[in-house]
A and B are shown apart, each in its own frame.
Chain A
Amino acid sequence: MLVLSHVTASYGDVRALNDVSLEVKKGEIFALLGANGAGKSSTLRSIVGLLKISQGAIEFLGQRIENRNPVDIVRRGISMVFEGRRIFPELTVRENLVAGAYLIKDAKVRQERMAELFERFPRLAERQSQLAGSLSGGEQQMLAIARALISKPSLLLMDEPSMGLAPKVVDEVFRIIVELNAAGTTILLVEQNAQRALEIATRAAVLETGHVALAGSAAELLNNEKVRAAYLGM
């Protein structure tokens, strides 16, 4: 579904990605692991067109999408939940979703999608006219997920969705990821919590200083000595 081949990208003089190749298959949860600064977020940013790549290719559903306008990429069915949630704090919950639905021109469809999401996230429905910045961390994460889902993406990129959340909320986030995946959304998941990510993932890759150091099925990585020592604390 998504294929990165030999992707290289830099922020100014600092190389963020160095010859990254990976493939996310339709219907799976693909976990991307690695230490801080290994290039996990940069990989996601390059996929959605926020980071220009200098070499390599990115293919989505058989078509090249590298270095395109993010709007064009979102229109093809990719959406992203940012690290740190990145909701619009001075917009209300409802306005955040209206922004997320910007590409949906039909008002009726927008209303339907919003109603669906409010049904799925009742807390957001209760708070729909509150400023998003006033929500709790967990609620903000739900809003960030809802905002990404309103466009009904076929591929959802999630950057550290459990970061900074209470354990109970983390459980909920992982439950939602599994549900979404069961409902047919392919997921590329970047996580600090490697244990949890590998438990729900189909396949995974480990990034080290901008390139893929290890890749395989989630079960293989869970049992890999190096992964256990470096990322699972065992």
Chain B
Amino acid sequence: MPKSLELFLSYVINGLIIGNIYGLMALGLTLILGVMKIVNFAHGEFYMLGGYAAYICSIKLGLGPVAGILGAIVTVFFIGLFVERALLTPFYSGRLERPSDYALLMTFSLSVFLMNVVIPIFGPYQKASAPLAEGSVNLGIVSVGATRVIASLVAILLMALLLLLLSKTRLGIALRAIAQDRDAAAICGIDVNRMNPVAFGIGTAMAAAAGALLAPTFLVYPASGSLAASKANAILVLGGMGSIKGAIIGALLLGVLESLGVLFLSPGYRDVYGFLVIVLVLLIKPTGLFGGQEF
């Protein structure tokens, strides 16, 4: 294989590896958007909380990396349930004149609150959770840090579990039915408002998993969720708001595009390339790649 092609492929692989983690993040956001019709502006902060939970479980409590990831998922799932019950129920009460504005302001305020509430607890400095594995893995043409490869595989596993839940279980069918037609789902006997905390809990737990998986390499700090959230939002727009297929493909695409931008242009603008492409996609196809497909 020529050297340049090898280099190209190694960057593609790196892009796909990070893309899976983006996918986890974007899938959680899509689930919340689909079922609740809310864009969760605090999604990045659940990612950040996941990172801290992994840090506490794996380093502070010394339970190791697996406990770190599980601890992050479980803890944030319950935080998500609590947040939904405590802060978001007015959204569906029918008593608000502009519920969408309420949801936007509430999740945005929550984002700022969570970002600041962790500062006195953990301090402003970066923390790393326990690495998932030592050394690196040889993938044929490229050698990648083992922690990243495992993180990516775990992300694929979690996404597969969620897709399985959505496609094979009654709960999953109910969640998709709500996303497609809330009133019709209600008349099927599905308690649509009771499904909101379920969707929010699972969605935020996905973000936490992403945060926990990246905490060993990208570190965790109070504002570490901002970039992750902006990428997840961009993926949603790229894939077509609310489409699950779009979220996964969009995430992989963003990962690869960023990686190739680093290769061909400059590493300094890593976080810019994806957004440039998104702007281009939207100019050509404003509904995103899979717009109009719900779940």
Contacts and interface: CB of A to CB of B under 8 A. Distances in A.
A157 B294 CA distance: 27
Contacts of B295: 90
B189 A98 contact: no
Given A50-B183, A88-B181, A89-B180, A102 B190 contact: yes
B165 interface: no
Counting contact residues on chain A (CB < 8 A from B), the size range is 20 to 34
A52 B94 contact: yes
Interface in B281-295: 293-295
Interface in B94-120: 94
B81 to A, nearest CB: 20
Given A95-B173, A98-B173, A99-B173, A86 B189 contact: no
Interface string A87-105: 1111100011011111100
Interface in B255-295: 293-295
Given A70-B187, A74-B187, A75-B189, A88 B176 contact: yes
Nearest to B182: A50
A99 B191 contact: no
A91 B187 contact: no
B180 A102 contact: no
B176 A50 contact: no
B189 A71 contact: yes
A82 B187 CA distance: 9
B183 A82 contact: yes
A53 to B, nearest CB: 13
A87 to B, nearest CB: 8
Contacts of A100: 188-189
Nearest to A144: B184
Contacts of A63: none
Interface of B: 94, 170, 173-174, 176-177, 180-181, 183-191, 293-295
Interface of A: 48-50, 52, 69-71, 74-75, 79-80, 82, 86-91, 95-96, 98-103, 147-148, 151
